[in-house]
Amino acid sequence: MDLLKRLFEQHFQLPAEDAQPLQGQLGGSGRIIVRLTGGNLSAIGILYPVREENLAFLEFSRHFRRHGLPVPEIYAEDLSQGAYLEEDLGDTTLFEFLGENRTGEAVAPRAVEAYRKVVAMLPRFQVEAGRDLNYKLCYPRPSFDRQSIAWDLNYFKYYFLRLAGIPFNEQALEKDFSRLTKFLLGASHDYFLYRDFQSRNIMLRDGQPFFLDYQGGRKGALQYDIASLLYDGKADLPPEMRQELLDYYLDCLGSYIPVDRNAFMEHYYAYVYVRILQALGAYGFRGFYERKAHFLQSVPYALKNLRWLAGHVKLPIALPALMEALQGIAASEKLQGLASTDESLKVRVFSFSFHREVPSDESGNGGGFVFDARSLPNPGREEQFRHLTGQDAAVIDYLNRQESVRQFLSSVLALVDRSVSTYQGRGFKNLMVSFGCTGGQHRSVYLAEQLAKHLRGTSGVEVVVRHIELEKMGTPEKMS
């Protein structure tokens, strides 16, 4: 952390007053990701020991910015220590924005428009910036070649199929893998393949998309990335929206290269399959092997996509052993059980006034936290804030600028994160977090909203927010 603070001070010429670890980063990639702030400035610091991967990200970022693409600016780096500092793009991912703008299968137009902006940008990465990219920097492979595909398919076989207890004929499955690989490599693959083009790696700032986590990019086929976005498991896009966005992508792609839609579609669904299998391998590795149970919460969404494919798509090649294994996945009672909403951890977040009772735990769990925010600066004492709440931008900005508030919130987030991880690992179903202040209008509301925003999008977590005092003004309960 001291190294990141030093980079911050060297770049901005002022000290980092606060360093707040960002939730959920250690469980997946292994990176330590920290938001550093000083004065009115902020940056994201990264600590990660794999030099080749860091170098790929830094050089790709500079390359993409030269092409005018919306990726973070690199402020400072120390590759010898596995550290670098980049632009802070905020907290709103495309995944979170989608969740806030949908009801079941109905996706609000503003979320559809956000996806259209993302889809329109993809060909610029693949074609425009891909033409003069230095592919020698790609890690661990310069292209999505036979070896890369073999890694993904074996990842699925050994970390998902085997650990989930799904029977399969290994020799027959290997023959199918060989046929599938040959078919995939039959598609034109001279473009930049982003590799992890999905909704959690896309930030929205002022309504515009910004892109992250392309350090695993390499040369490959166009079909892979759009398949990654549209069949992103927990995003759970409705089939009609997927088709609309695919058509729009092909229209946008046609502005850069001639597009033979029939040739594109011949290979498209094979890439959809291989991307889903790669994702299942990752869920199995993290969930079954590393016993991080919350990763398994994504499995039912992948299975839903596989069932849709089985009912609507016929591949141009026969893959009988693979299809039999996928049918076994769909029929597995063990995996179907992961779909139960009871497996999610419900985090109920409250704001309240200490003039009244502390909110009671209706779940019967009997645990959780109560945080007293009365030691923090009180916007309610300022005339301009008196009739506002902790949900209003002016109050949020005021509290964001208070060092004591930032430190308080950082401690709360770290404590709650540890409990969430432990609760998920032990199969607990409920966690309650309450924030109290004098009137239950400003500080407690702000803190509850900040925690809820922090937790939204966490795999296997359902967030419910209630503002006890504001409910008297008709503010509804929120879920995500």
| Same domain (yes/no): 276, 306 | yes
| Same domain (yes/no): 366, 250 | no
| Same domain (yes/no): 265, 192 | yes
Residues of the chain with pLDDT under 70: 23-29, 336-343, 363-367, 474-480
Distance CA 225, CA 231 (A): 10
Bridge partner residues of 146 (DSSP): none
Tell me how long the chain is: 480
User: How many structural domains are present in the chain?
Assistant: 3
Q: Which of 34, 65, 86 is the last residue of a domain?
A: 86
The radius of gyration computed from the CA coordinates of the chain, to the nearest angstrom, equals 24
Q: In the prediction, which pLDDT does 364 show?
A: 66
| Same domain (yes/no): 321, 358 | no
Q: Which residues contact 268 (CB under 8 A, 6 or more apart)?
A: 223, 227, 246
Q: What are phi and psi of 290, to 5 degrees?
A: -85, -5
Q: In the prediction, which pLDDT does 195 show?
A: 96
Q: In the prediction, which pLDDT does 25 show?
A: 40
| Same domain (yes/no): 139, 256 | yes
- Structural element, H or E, at residue 444: helix 443-455
CA 268 to chain centre: 24
Q: In the prediction, which pLDDT does 341 show?
A: 43
3-state secondary structure of 263: helix
Q: Which of 86, 105, 127 is the last residue of a domain?
A: 86
Q: In the prediction, which pLDDT does 423 show?
A: 84
| Same domain (yes/no): 271, 382 | no
Are the CB atoms for 84 and 77 separated by under 8 Å?
yes
pLDDT tens, position by position, 258-315: 999 999 999 999 999 999 999 999 999 988 888 877 788 789 899 999 999 999 999 9
Q: Which residues contact 261 (CB under 8 A, 6 or more apart)?
A: 250
Q: Which of 70, 86, 102 is the last residue of a domain?
A: 86
pLDDT tens, position by position, 96-108: 899 889 888 899 9
Question: Helices in 356-457 by DSSP H: which ranges?
Answer: 393-400, 403-425, 443-455
| Same domain (yes/no): 82, 166 | no
CA 143 to chain centre: 24
Q: In the prediction, which pLDDT does 267 show?
A: 98
Strands (E), 160-217: 191-193, 202-205, 208-211
> Residue 333 belongs to what domain range?
94-337
Q: In the prediction, which pLDDT does 366 show?
A: 62
Residue 217 token pair: 């990019």
Q: What is the DSSP letter of 438?
A: S
